[in-house]
Structures are given as C-alpha cells and as structure tokens.
C-alpha cells in the first residue's frame, strides 16, 4: 500500500518534470532558428537587454506581443552584424510585486539596459528600481504619467494616457463623428481612468456632449446591460471605450444582442481584440480606434515586420509588438551613435542613453521623426483606424 502510493507520487513527479522540459524546449526553439542569435548569446559580445511583461494571466496578450516584437527586432539586428543584443523577458503577471521580482531576476542575469515593463502599474514599480540602480529603461507600452515622473532615465515609446484621451476627443470632434457621446470605463484601472479624465475634459472644451458616463470594475466586468442601456436611452451615437479588449469584446457581444449599434471608439488597449480566442471578429466590425501602428500599412518596413511576425507567431502583430520592435531599434540607433560597447557598465550606458534619447530623432513603425523630451515622454502623432472585414484599415 505504502509502496504503491510512493510509486504514484514518483510517477507524478516524473511527469511534471518531463512536461516542464517540453515547455522549456518549445520556448527556446524559435530563438535558435535564427543563426545569428547564437554568437550573441556568448557573454561580453552582446548588450543584455531585459524586460518584464505579463506573459501569463489576463493581460498576457500584451506581454507576449511585446516580447515577440522585441524578439524579431533582436534577431534582425543580430543577423546584420554590428551591435548584438541578448534579449530576456520575464513574466510579471501584470502585478507590481511580481514585476519587481522579475526585475530582480533580470538583474541577477546582469541586465545592462531595460525595456521596462509592458503594463503601467508594474512599470511604475520597476521604474523606481531602474532609477535607483541607474539602469536605463525604455518601455514599449506603459503609458501612465507616473511611470516617467521624476525619473531621468525612464523613457516611453507609447503615448501617455492623458495624450490619448485628449487626442481621441480631438479626433472625434475634428472628423465630426458624433455630437452625443457615451463613455464606459473601468474605474479601478489606472489606464482607463487616465484616459477617461482627459477625454471628458477635452470633450467639454470642444463642445461634445457626454450623455452617459458609466463605470465598471474588476469582478463586475461581465454584464454591461446597465451601462449599454444607459447609453442607448440617452441617445448616444458614439460610445467611447477607454479600456482593454476583454471587457470591450463582451460589450460588443451584448450590444449586438440588444440591437444597439452606435459607433464605437476605442484606444490602444482595444488593439488585440481581433486575435482574441473565441471572439467573433464580425462583432467588432466598424470599431474605430486610435493607435500609432497600422498593420495594413504599405510602408516597406511595416510590411516586412508584419510578414516576419505572421510567419513566426501565426498572428497579425498589434501595436504592442510594434512598440517593442521600435524600442529595440531605437536602442540600436542610440548605442551606435554613442559608440557604446557591450563591456560597459549599466550606469555608464545609462548616462550615454539619457544623452542620446533626449537629442536624437527616430523613425520607426509607430511614427516618423519621434523625439523625446527630458521627462521621457515621446512625441508622435496617432493614427485613426477602423476595423473592416476583420482587419485594421487606416481611417485617413
């Protein structure tokens, strides 16, 4: 009896270990496809570039996209010769505590330059760490103002939340998309709240009438009938959704079941809805969103990035992937311009990078002629997009 139990325990252990081994192999497979990434792996010849992001859990689509985008850029750059990168992403499950743990794990790996964190709140926590440790960080997508506030070595590749809100209101007013607007937002989320506040302020200024302003929170984010009927009865002809794509997908489904079809307007968190598992893209037909990246662009660099991404990861890249891709190329440009070598210490690199980023201009997939001010915010212009036949199409 006792032996039997012991045996079964051992068997379970063996199964777990073999499963884990499979997982590790699968993870490594794509990286080793690229011939150039092998020499870069040797220490001393490559810049150690690390980042944290939600690779598992509810926000995993963002972290995975950023990781994939950065991986493509690193492999391309390593194949070119010249500057070499060694990339490592750690999982932070969209949690500040885990993000600091992930950051410390990267520090143990001797990270030299950082890609910050993918989402806002974790990035606020890791930004304090990179600031204290003098490691330069450029986040692809953490858009809250608190991320860069008071830190000279923290830069953003994406718009700040307040800019997104006011840009959205400006866009709606400029294109005369609607006069009566409803807003549904998540009141326990930094990202949603930041955009909502600046959107409503700007909308009032521009004479857009906000007829319904309703909220939801974690835990009651599955039923939106109250918010939607509020918007419907108040006659809103456009609903602004400053939120991530999971609640938005439910909103679309419920609105369609109650035969409510206003214009929908989202922000960059909406990006990713088309690749969401189990979501019918037909529901998102006609949804407009403001994002700096257009996967359907005919621009040569974008097209080749989208092609490479599709080949390797079987999906259309979203804005997060493009932002992370741009981050790596921005690093390449800055490191080359400053004449940095991989044997330099993280704090030396940090000083050089601060100098470079505040003075250089960078052309990437998410914008031309991007510049950064000393606060770490980027200046670039957003693009309006609309979903047509299950794909993003530029509005202009």
Partner 1 sequence: MANKLKTLSKTSRRNYLTYVLVILAYLVLQLLSGSLSSSLKGMLVPICAYVVMAISLNLTVGILGELSLGHAGFMSVGAFTGVTAAVALQGVIPIAPLRLAIGMVVGAAFAALAGFLIGIPVLRLKGDYLAIVTLAFGEIIKSIFNNLYVGMDGNGLHFSLLSDSTDLAEGGKLIIGGPMGIGGIQKISTFTAGFLLVMITLVVVFNLVNSRSGRAIMAIRDNRIAAESVGVNITKYKMMAFVTSAALAGSAGTLFAMNYSTIVANKFDFNTSILVLVFVVLGGQGNMLGSIVAAAALTILPEALRQFADYRMLVYAIVLILVMLATNNPSFKSFWSRITGKRDKKEAA
Residues 157-196 that bind partner 1 (CB under 8 A): 186-190, 192-194
Cβ atoms of 70 and 118 within 8 Å: the answer is no
For tokens 């997508």, the residue is 141
CA distance 70 to 50: 10
- What is the C-alpha radius of gyration for the chain, rounded to an integer number of angstroms? 22
Smallest separation (angstroms) from partner 1 to the CB of 103: 8
Asked whether position 226 contacts partner 1 by CB under 8 A, the answer is: no
Asked whether position 217 contacts partner 1 by CB under 8 A, the answer is: yes
Residues 42-61 that bind partner 1 (CB under 8 A): 55-56
- Region of 45-53, 125-133, 171-179, 270-278 interacting with partner 1 (CB under 8 A): 125-133
Nearer to partner 1, 56 or 345 (CB): 56
Selected binder of partner 1 within 207, 219, 278, 339 (CB under 8 A): 219
In Å, the largest CA–CA distance within the chain is: 78
Cβ atoms of 324 and 65 within 8 Å: the answer is yes
Give phi and psi for 178, each to the nearest 5.
Answer: -165, 160
Asked whether position 284 contacts partner 1 by CB under 8 A, the answer is: no
Nearer to partner 1, 55 or 267 (CB): 55
Smallest separation (angstroms) from partner 1 to the CB of 391: 28
Smallest separation (angstroms) from partner 1 to the CB of 157: 20
Size of the site for partner 1 (CB under 8 A): 49
Nearer to partner 1, 108 or 300 (CB): 108
Cβ atoms of 118 and 54 within 8 Å: the answer is yes
Closest C-alpha to 320, from 116, 40, 34, 75:
116
Selected binder of partner 1 within 7, 11, 13, 282 (CB under 8 A): 13
Asked whether position 92 contacts partner 1 by CB under 8 A, the answer is: no
Residues 250-269 that bind partner 1 (CB under 8 A): none
Burial call 123-149: b when 16+ CB within 10 Å, e when fewer: bbbbbbbbbebbbbbbbbbbbbbbbbe
Smallest separation (angstroms) from partner 1 to the CB of 125: 5
Q: Side-chain half-sphere of 96: how many Cα atoms within 13 Å?
A: 9
Tokens found for residue 173? 């007013």
Give phi and psi for 373, each to the nearest 5.
Answer: -95, 175
DSSP letters for 106-120: HHHTT--EEEEESSH
Smallest separation (angstroms) from partner 1 to the CB of 124: 4
Selected binder of partner 1 within 95, 268, 271, 326 (CB under 8 A): 95
Interface residue list for partner 1 (CB under 8 A):
2, 5-6, 9, 12-13, 16, 19-20, 23-24, 27, 55-56, 90-91, 95-97, 100-105, 107-108, 121, 124-125, 127-129, 132, 144, 146, 149-150, 186-190, 192-194, 217-219
């Amino acid at each position: 009896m006792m032996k039997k139990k012991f045996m079964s325990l051992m068997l379970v252990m063996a199964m777990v270990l073999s499963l884990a081994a499979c997982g590790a192999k699968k993870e490594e497979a794509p990286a080793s496809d690229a011939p150039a990434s092998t020499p870069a792996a040797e220490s001393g010849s490559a810049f150690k570039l690390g980042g944290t992001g939600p690779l598992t859990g509810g926000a995993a689509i963002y972290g995975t996209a950023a990781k994939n985008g950065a991986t493509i850029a690193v492999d391309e750059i390593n194949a070119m010769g010249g500057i070499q990168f060694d990339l490592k992403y750690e999982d932070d499950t969209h949690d500040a505590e885990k993000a600091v743990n992930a950051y410390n794990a990267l520090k143990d790996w001797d990270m030299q330059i950082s890609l910050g964190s993918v989402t806002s709140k974790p990035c606020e926590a890791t930004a304090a760490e990179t600031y204290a440790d003098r490691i330069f960080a450029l986040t692809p997508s953490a858009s809250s103002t608190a991320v860069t506030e008071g830190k000279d070595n923290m830069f953003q590749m994406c718009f700040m939340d307040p800019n997104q809100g006011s840009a959205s209101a400006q866009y709606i007013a400029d294109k005369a998309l609607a006069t009566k607007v409803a807003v549904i937002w998540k009141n326990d989320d930094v990202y949603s709240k930041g955009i909502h506040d600046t959107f409503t302020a700007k909308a009032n200024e521009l004479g857009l009438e906000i007829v319904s302003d309703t909220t939801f929170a974690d835990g009651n984010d599955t039923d939106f009938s109250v918010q939607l009927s509020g918007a419907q009865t108040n006659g809103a002809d456009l609903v602004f959704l400053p939120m991530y794509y999971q609640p938005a997908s439910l909103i679309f489904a419920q609105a369609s079941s109650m035969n409510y079809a206003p214009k929908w307007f989202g922000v960059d968190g909406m990006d990713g809805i088309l690749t969401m598992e189990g979501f019918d893209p037909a529901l998102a037909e006609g949804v407009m969103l403001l994002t700096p990246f257009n996967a359907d662009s005919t621009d040569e660099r974008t097209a080749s990035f989208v092609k490479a991404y599709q080949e390797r990861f079987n999906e259309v890249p979203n804005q997060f992937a493009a932002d992370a891709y741009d981050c790596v190329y921005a690093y390449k440009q800055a490191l080359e311009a400053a004449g940095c070598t991989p044997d330099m210490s993280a704090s030396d690199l940090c000083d050089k990078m601060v100098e470079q980023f505040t003075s250089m201009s960078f052309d990437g997939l998410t914008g031309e002629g991007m510049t950064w001010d000393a606060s770490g915010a980027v200046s670039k212009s957003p693009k309006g997009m609309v979903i047509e036949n299950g794909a993003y199409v530029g509005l202009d």
